[in-house]
Amino acid sequence: MAEEQNTKLATFAGGCFWCMVGPFEQEEGVYDIMSGYTGGHTENPTYREVCSETTGHVEAIQMKYDPSVVSYERLLEIFWRQIDPTDPGGQFNDRGESYTTNIFYHDEEQHRLAEASKQELDENGPFEKPVVTRIREAGVFYPAEEYHQDYHHKNRFHYMMYRKGSGREGFINNYWSEQNEHQ
């Protein structure tokens, strides 16, 4: 594992956090991916509270990464290929603010790179509708309950059925197919 002083944080909200962990854990230089909640106003929210749409939080993942091994630009590329960045109301079957897409930047470099990648995707990407993913300053990140951590490993069959049934799998295959090596 990378030395602690060489790691940075990256935080992404792409709808259901179960579906966001796997693509990043495959990337060399990414460590300690945690599912959780961020962007809201309630301290220590629970899953039930976040889903009630009263806390302002979104489901998100936060990871440590070693920028000498994997670039933030690469993490952004992985992120964009897991979501529908044109959907302002959630992701696939998951509807509501808590499932909207967000990039939470931890420093000005991440902010600049996130804005540039969003603009590039909006202007040259495969989507007809505008990219609506929000780019926000990172705040407090609250880890989700233990049963949500590594859900895609603990409950593999249910996760695969959910990913397909939600429409995420088909969307990714439709828009990224051969280009997406992280499905």
Q: Are 60 and 18 in contact (CB under 8 A)?
A: no
Residue 64 CA, chain-centre distance (Å), reads 13
pLDDT number for residue 178: 56
| Alpha-carbon span 170 to 176, nearest angstrom | 10
Is residue 43 one of the residues assigned to a domain? yes
**H/E run at residue 168:** helix 168-176
Is residue 1 one of the residues assigned to a domain? no
Is residue 128 one of the residues assigned to a domain? yes
Whether residue 19 lies in the annotated active site: no
Is residue 183 one of the residues assigned to a domain? no
- State the residue range of the domain holding 80: 6-178
pLDDT number for residue 1: 45
Q: Domain tally for the chain? A: 1
CATH of the domain at 79: 3.30.1060.10
pLDDT number for residue 103: 98
pLDDT < 50 regions, the chain: 1-2, 180-183
DSSP for residue 130: P
Q: Which of 10, 13, 16, 58 is catalytic?
A: 16
Is residue 151 one of the residues assigned to a domain? yes
Q: What is the pLDDT of residues 28-79, one digit of tens each?
A: 999 999 999 999 999 999 999 999 999 999 999 999 999 999 999 999 999 9
pLDDT number for residue 177: 76
pLDDT number for residue 181: 45
| Alpha-carbon span 89 to 18, nearest angstrom | 18
